[in-house]
A and B are shown apart, each in its own frame.
Chain A
Amino acid sequence: MSTATVRTGPGSLVVVGASLAGLRAVEAARKTGFAGRITLIGDEPHLPYDRPPLSKELLAPGGPTDPVTLRSRAELVDELGVELLLGAPATGLDPDAGVVHAGGEDVAYDALVVATGAAARGLPGTEGLAGVHVLRTLDDARAVRRALDEGARTVVVGAGFIGSEVASAARKRGSPVTIVEALPAPLVRSVGSDLGAALALLHTRNGTALRCGQAVAALEGTGRVEGVRLADDTVIEADLVVVGIGAVPRTDWLAGSGLPVDDGVVCDEFLRAGAPGVYAAGDVVRWHNPLFDRSMRVEHWSSAAEQGARAARNAVSPADAQPYATVPYFWSDWYGSRVQFAGVATHDGYEIVSGDPAGDHFVALYREGDRLTGVLTLNGQRHVMKYRRLIAQRARFDEAIAFARTSAPTRPASTAS
């Protein structure tokens, strides 16, 4: 250091939530040279593992049944010098004292990263009915996999991304599957109704029945599910019901802490949660994204990873804090096709710049006023990151359209490499 001033940063970092964001937080803290004590607290008994494969590889016929562990115990404990408190739910936070209550202990912190993620929303009143699952954890994935392997007749409640992946896994086994969606089209909030309907064609083309505009009235069966009764009184027989109707941020344990909570821990652009030394990252955070100048909460892998790292860096060196701005990015795999979305889906209109929404490839660009704000692709892997870059550069919509016209045609006969 060239100046004589020595900044005294925090001496200890506590991270609550031992999954992607939490793991990236402890790694980043060490990478910046933080030498203080680090404690990673998680309520699951498992070492941090990766969630996207839970609805993909782990459900595939003949696929792996063990999760992708993000780091081994030795890497965490010996190399990174992290104290692991697993199987220890945090039950409270006292920001004035700088203490987290977890697993019956009081853990003191100078800096804290809240990374408790989100929990899958269940269907009320179906607890304890065998054969009904959400899909969020390794244990959920193993239970769903077992049922699929037994050839279960499957009903997926909610036509979201995770539910669509479950339907693909059932169809891979040739099992009958129906998706029930309360809204008139799938994915209306994520991609808009037209393009939601376009993606829905993948289901019908692959033999998945889709019932939109249908609420679930009740689940049939005692002890074990036997069917799903819809609002119009039809009953779909089922051995397996997977509920994919979204997730709620896990902020319950922060009750009484005084941290501002509003569908997530409310943070500024530096991921600061409004109490001294407290930051939040991942699915649990609602932060101000400077790139779109709005508050948002996203449940995507790459932002969880990046926010974890950014929150920890800001937490251990607050004097060098940097804002977190991003173009949210998400991918999903359906019936061997890849769906990718970057940005925000706005309602000012969209344009198809490649392919055909009724076919097996398209690229759609979304606008807000005259700005490019989002891109949705189906089997458009070559395109998505180029538009994501334009969105990050705050490109105008007409610039993006011009770019689309000049970029190479979609499926060239040969690719130079």
Chain B
Amino acid sequence: MRIILDRAKCTGIGICEALAPTVFEVDDNGELVVLSAEVPEDARNEVAEAVEGCPTMALRLRS
């Protein structure tokens, strides 16, 4: 499964990073860096929670 980030929607609030720190990191400019575009096997649940937890609905998963 791949993580699709809609940059136009993301405002760098960082809730995804709080939920899945190995996959998401907000940088100094407030831009989200997706550290692994492919969902790591061991972080499936956290990534699913991050997708759901994003306040701006900027994250999607595509199989």
Q: Are B28 and A385 interface neighbours, CB within 8 A? A: no
Taking the nearest CB of chain A, how far is it from the CB of B13, in angstroms? Answer: 5
Q: Are A382 and B18 interface neighbours, CB within 8 A? A: no
Tell me which residues across on chain A come within 8 A of B25, comparing CB atoms: 382
Which label, helix, strand, loop or mixed, suits the secondary structure of the B interface? loop
Q: What is the number of contacts between chain A and chain B, taking CB atoms within 8 Å?
A: 49
Q: Are A381 and B12 interface neighbours, CB within 8 A? A: yes
B15 at interface (Cβ–Cβ under 8 A)?
yes
B3 at interface (Cβ–Cβ under 8 A)?
no
Using A331-B13, A389-B18, A417-B33 as known contacts, say yes or no to A381 and B55 having CB atoms under 8 A apart.
Answer: no
Using A50-B55, A52-B55, A305-B53 as known contacts, say yes or no to A329 and B30 having CB atoms under 8 A apart.
Answer: no
User: Could you tell me the distance between the alpha carbons of A415 and B33 in the complex, rounded to whole angstroms?
Assistant: 10
Query: In the complex, what residue of chain A is closest to B14 when comparing beta carbons?
Result: A385
Kindly identify which residue among B21, B53, B55 contacts A385, using a CB–CB cutoff of 8 Å.
B21
Tell me which residues across on chain B come within 8 A of A306, comparing CB atoms: 53
1/0 per residue, CB under 8 A from B, across A263-306: the answer is 00000000000000000000000000000000000000110011
Q: A388-B18, A417-B27 are in contact. List 8 more A-B contacts (CB 8 A).
A: A68-B56, A302-B18, A302-B53, A305-B53, A329-B15, A379-B28, A381-B30, A386-B21
User: Could you tell me the distance between the alpha carbons of A340 and B18 in the complex, rounded to whole angstroms?
Assistant: 13
Query: In the complex, what residue of chain B is closest to A416 when comparing beta carbons?
Result: B33
Q: Are A385 and B17 interface neighbours, CB within 8 A? A: yes
Taking the nearest CB of chain B, how far is it from the CB of A51, in angstroms? Answer: 10
Using A52-B55, A302-B53, A302-B55 as known contacts, say yes or no to A329 and B28 having CB atoms under 8 A apart.
Answer: no
List B1-59 residues whose CB lies under 8 Å from chain A. 12-15, 17-18, 21, 25-30, 33, 53, 55-56
User: Could you tell me the distance between the alpha carbons of A305 and B49 in the complex, rounded to whole angstroms?
Assistant: 11
Count the B residues whose beta carbon is within 8 Å of the partner chain — how many? 17
1/0 per residue, CB under 8 A from B, across A34-66: the answer is 000000000000000010100000000000000
Tell me which residues across on chain B come within 8 A of A331, comparing CB atoms: 13-14
User: Could you tell me the distance between the alpha carbons of A388 and B17 in the complex, rounded to whole angstroms?
Assistant: 10
Taking the nearest CB of chain A, how far is it from the CB of B56, in angstroms? Answer: 8
A25 at interface (Cβ–Cβ under 8 A)?
no
| A residues at B contact (CB < 8 Å) | 50, 52, 68, 301-302, 305-306, 329, 331, 338, 340, 379, 381-382, 384-386, 388-389, 410-412, 415, 417
Going nearest first, the 8 A-B pairs with the smallest beta carbon separation are A381-B30, A385-B17, A381-B26, A385-B18, A385-B14, A382-B28, A417-B33, A415-B27
Tell me which residues across on chain B come within 8 A of A340, comparing CB atoms: 14
User: Could you tell me the distance between the alpha carbons of A389 and B25 in the complex, rounded to whole angstroms?
Assistant: 13
User: Could you tell me the distance between the alpha carbons of A68 and B9 in the complex, rounded to whole angstroms?
Assistant: 11
Q: Are A415 and B28 interface neighbours, CB within 8 A? A: yes
User: Could you tell me the distance between the alpha carbons of A83 and B18 in the complex, rounded to whole angstroms?
Assistant: 33
A-B contact pairs, 8 of them (CB 8 A): A302-B18, A302-B53, A379-B28, A379-B30, A382-B25, A382-B26, A389-B18, A417-B27
Kindly identify which residue among A305, A329, A382, A389 contacts B27, using a CB–CB cutoff of 8 Å.
A382
Taking the nearest CB of chain A, how far is it from the CB of B5, in angstroms? Answer: 13
User: Could you tell me the distance between the alpha carbons of A338 and B30 in the complex, rounded to whole angstroms?
Assistant: 9
Taking the nearest CB of chain B, how far is it from the CB of A409, in angstroms? Answer: 10
User: Could you tell me the distance between the alpha carbons of A306 and B55 in the complex, rounded to whole angstroms?
Assistant: 11
Taking the nearest CB of chain B, how far is it from the CB of A295, in angstroms? Answer: 23
User: Could you tell me the distance between the alpha carbons of A175 and B21 in the complex, rounded to whole angstroms?
Assistant: 41
Interface centre among B14, B29, B56 (most CB of A within 10 A): B14
User: Could you tell me the distance between the alpha carbons of A162 and B4 in the complex, rounded to whole angstroms?
Assistant: 31
Kindly identify which residue among A50, A381, A386, A389 contacts B28, using a CB–CB cutoff of 8 Å.
A381
User: Could you tell me the distance between the alpha carbons of A179 and B29 in the complex, rounded to whole angstroms?
Assistant: 28
Q: Are A338 and B33 interface neighbours, CB within 8 A? A: no
Q: Are A338 and B12 interface neighbours, CB within 8 A? A: yes
User: Could you tell me the distance between the alpha carbons of A52 and B56 in the complex, rounded to whole angstroms?
Assistant: 10
Taking the nearest CB of chain A, how far is it from the CB of B7, in angstroms? Answer: 13
